[in-house]
Amino acid sequence: MPVFLPKEPTRSQLSLTAILYALSDEVRLGIVRQLAAEGEQPCGVFEVDRPKSSLSHHFRVLRESGVVSTRKEGKNLLNTLRRKDLDARFPGLLKAILR
């Protein structure tokens, strides 16, 4: 069984509807807002009233839609907002959503 497969879309694979869908959930939008404000962060720091497996699900949706990128750093996974890619493909979108 595979352990961890990123499966993040490339910049040119980004889909607007998939991104809008990912951001249409309060929990996920909250995560994205926090990433925008604080920068790279491990999954564990997000204070969400949900068990880990649920949080993990939401991170997956964010990754698969290309909103967030995740890299491994020792024991944890560090998440970042894919600002550059998002701005390149959909200028102004992130700014409008995060304001």
Partner DNA sequence: AGATTAATTCGAAGAAAATCGAACTATCGT
Partner DNA sequence: ACGATAGTTCGATTTTCTTCGAATTAATCT
Q: DSSP for 21-87?
A: HHTTSHHHHHHHHHHHHH-SEEGGG---SS-HHHHHHHHHHHHHHTSEEEEEETTEEEEEE-HHHHH
Which of the residues 67 through 86 are near DNA (CB under 7 A)? 70, 72, 74-77
| Interaction of residue 55 with DNA, rule CB under 7 A | yes
Cα dihedral 80, 67, 59, 98 sign: positive
| Interaction of residue 29 with DNA, rule CB under 7 A | no
- Residue owning tokens 């951001």: 23
Total of chain residues touching DNA, rule CB under 7 A: 29
How near is the Cβ of 92 to a copy of itself at its closest, in Å? Answer: 4
Residue numbers at the binding site for a copy of itself (CB under 8 A): 16-18, 20-21, 23-26, 29, 90-93, 95-97, 99
Residue numbers at the binding site for DNA (CB under 7 A): 1-5, 21, 25, 27, 42-44, 50-61, 70, 72, 74-77
